[in-house]
A and B are shown apart, each in its own frame.
Chain A
Amino acid sequence: SQTIHQWPATLVQPVGSPLSLECTVEGTSNPNLYWYRQAAGRGLQLLFYSVGIGQISSEVPQNLSASRPQDRQFILSSKKLLLSDSGFYLCAWSAAVGGGEKLFFGSGTQLSVL
């Protein structure tokens, strides 16, 4: 069965520090991968998605970047964090399951920028 791993669960970082969040998927090949951010009262916002190694689409211009160095690895980065980068970050993958394509989420990383 497919599983998605995301770490760390919680992160507290000072303003101006770098960021690296990692996500890996097991049990599937060539998944579509996504990074979302969930801010209080604002719902889920798609940040990046990737359909393959080295292929990244950005949905929202911001202080963040994403990379996909391996088929099942997706990394979210920042060179200098801003206060506004605080939020709950979720990695997700999609696959055709049971006659339709479905989106599955990791457990999330709560990022606090102070």
Chain B
Amino acid sequence: QKEVEQDPGPLSVPEGAIVSLNCTYSNSAFQYFMWYRQYSRKGPELLMYTYSSGNKEDGRFTAQVDKSSKYISLFIRDSQPSDSATYLCAMSENLAALIFGKGTTLSVSS
């Protein structure tokens, strides 16, 4: 079993939809959980950061960590065409060993 699994998509939704992106992991020692957004040919941009567990909300974005199920989610409300990008989950016990999912490609149509 891979340490971090992420559905690559692509995921296509209409503008205004609620988007749910997910990752599962196998290592119960992970305590850093992040979501990055990456536009084509650009470096990943840190969207959400959670240490240990719980939920975090920032504008239209909500990150959830369920350590009992080893499952993290990113929700995007009122999705916009500008949200079209690849979303990467990342997690680890420490940053030197940060493990990334392969990314989910999201397309929001107007």
Select which of B34, B41, B101, B103 is within 8 A of A103 by beta carbon: B34
- Give 1 or 0 for each of B54-97: 1 = CB within 8 Å of chain A CB: 00000000000000000000000000000000001010000111
Give residues 14-71 of B contacting A (CB, 8 Å): 32, 34, 36, 41-46, 49, 51
- Beyond A44-B88, A101-B32: 17 further Cβ-contacts under 8 Å? A32-B95, A43-B100, A43-B101, A43-B102, A44-B100, A46-B98, A99-B51, A101-B95, A102-B46, A103-B34, A103-B46, A103-B90, A103-B98, A105-B36, A105-B45, A106-B43, A107-B42
Top 10 nearest A-B pairs by Cβ distance? A105-B43, A44-B100, A43-B102, A100-B51, A108-B43, A107-B43, A94-B95, A105-B44, A43-B100, A106-B43
Interface residues on B, range: 20 to 34
Which residues of chain B have C-beta atoms less than 8 A from A92's C-beta? 43
Decide if A102 touches B96 in the complex (CB within 8 Å).
Answer: no
Residue contact A43 to B42, C-beta cutoff 8 Å: no
On whether A102 and B41 interact (CB within 8 A), knowing A43-B102, A44-B100, the answer reads: no
Q: How far is the CB of A61 from chain B (nearest CB, A)?
A: 17
Looking at the assembled complex, report how far the CB atom of A94 sits from the nearest CB atom of chain B, in whole angstroms: 5
Alpha-carbon distance between A13 and B36 when the two chains are bound, in angstroms = 29
B102 touching A42, Cβ below 8 Å: yes
> Taking beta carbons and an 8 Å cutoff, which residues of B are in contact with A?
32, 34, 36, 41-46, 49, 51, 88, 90, 95-98, 100-103
Given contacts A43-B103, A100-B49, A32 and B96 within 8 Å (CB-CB): yes
Interface centre among A41, A57, A105, A110 (most CB of B within 10 A): A105
Cβ of A108: which chain B residues have Cβ within 8 Å of it?
41-43
Complex CA gap A108/B86 in Å reads 15
Query: What is the CB-to-nearest-CB distance from A52 to chain B, in angstroms, rounded to a whole number?
Result: 13
- How many whole Å from B69's CB to the nearest CB in chain A? 22
Interface residues of A in 48-72 (CB under 8 A from B): 49, 57
Q: Contact: A102 with B43, CB < 8 Å?
A: no
